[in-house]
Amino acid sequence: MSTRLLPAPDMLIGKRFDVALAKMTGLSRAKAAELVTSGAAHVLGRDVDKASELLAGDMIEIIEQEPEHKVEPIAHDMAVVYEDDDVVVVDKPVGVAAHASIGWTGPTVLGSLLDRGVHITSYGAPGRQGIVSRLDVGTSGLMLVCKSELAYKEMRRQFSEHEVVKTYEALVQGNLKQDKATIDAPIGRAKVSDFRFCITPLGKHAITHWDVLERFGEATLARINLETGRTHQIRVHFSSIGHPLVGDPMYGANPKLSEACGLDRQWLHAIQLEFRHPRTHVWTTVRSTLPADLDHALDVMRQRQQQRELADA
């Protein structure tokens, strides 16, 4: 066990303790809150909780457990769909995290690439080197990781300025009324949970565009483009208009429909990624195909639709 002492930075004075700790350590806010709640992070000389504001002169002590040196599982089925000296784009399977985090014991994109001998830049927060955009553990599809310092700086800029075109496909419950539309609603962390997000006036600006690809009556397959990249953005936005993603119980999915489709995760796949190459500046498009579980769910929906049409005939 070891400890770290960190003075409260001037720029974070007045901020919530968990928010400040997250910015100081590179952890997510949820993980920072866990450290505070467990007593592994505290302010010397006064009692604080995760919502307490940092004061000028505060000294923060973080108690770190010695790593157990467990071998991280490797995602051997994670395909590399594009690679050069600057970037690598993988087709991330469901059940694989972008990077290691407190409490996660499964495979990660970063760990699996390093295990294969892929060089990743040292730029980025510790344990998140080279990563400029992430996918949820329960979301499959294309994810870009930077191999060179030049790529990290440029791709981070492109993602932050929304120049990268990220296209998803999602199966949402119910019949979307319009063939195409935009959801423009701010997203913030839900008060009921550190892991859920919701529409809130105090949230961050978020815009989602969608086009209908196929209708099944009880569900709709949509193509989705994001202008912003908020955590759980697609899941929260569609749930907010009464059309949660099939297989997504956190945001209101019907468990019976999920079971009928054979899904134990949200039907969401990052199917296409378009960006300007960081070195050559050539517009680059990378495309994925649907994984077997999502393909199977579509087959089930088509069969159910045919059965209803025959029953109505």
Q: What is the pLDDT of residue 66?
A: 61
- Told to judge if 115 belongs to the known catalytic residues of this protein, a careful annotator would answer no
Structural domains of the chain sorted by starting position, each given as residue range(s) with its CATH number in brackets: 2-64 (3.10.290.10), 73-157 (3.30.2350.10), 162-313 (3.30.2350.10)
Q: What is the pLDDT of residue 70?
A: 66
Please identify which of the residues 77, 136, 293, 312 carries the catalytic annotation. Answer: 136
What is the Cα 33 distance to its own chain's centre? 19
Question: Which ranges of 87-217 does DSSP label H, i.e. alpha helix?
Answer: 109-115, 149-160
CB 108 within 8 A of CB 127: no
- φ, ψ (nearest 5 deg) of residue 19: -65, -45
Q: Would the CA dihedral through 249, 252, 255, 258 be positive or negative?
A: negative
- List the one residue out of 207, 169, 192 whose CA is nearest residue 287: 169
Q: Could you give the CA distance from residue 182 to residue 303 in angstroms, rounded to a whole number?
A: 30
Q: What is the pLDDT of residue 79?
A: 97
- Strand (E) positions, 45-186? 59-64, 79-83, 87-92, 140-146, 165-173, 180-184
What is the full per-residue pLDDT of the chain (313 aa) written as tens digits? 678 888 888 888 999 999 888 888 878 888 889 999 998 899 998 999 999 999 988 989 888 766 555 678 999 999 999 999 999 999 999 999 999 887 788 999 999 999 999 999 999 888 899 999 999 999 999 999 999 999 999 999 999 999 999 999 999 999 999 999 999 999 998 877 667 899 999 999 999 999 999 999 999 999 999 988 899 999 999 999 999 999 999 999 999 999 999 999 999 999 999 999 999 999 999 999 999 999 999 999 999 999 988 888 7
Q: Which residues pair with 271 in a beta bridge?
A: none
- pTM for this structure? 0.77
Angle between helices 17-25 and 29-38 (to 10 degrees): 110
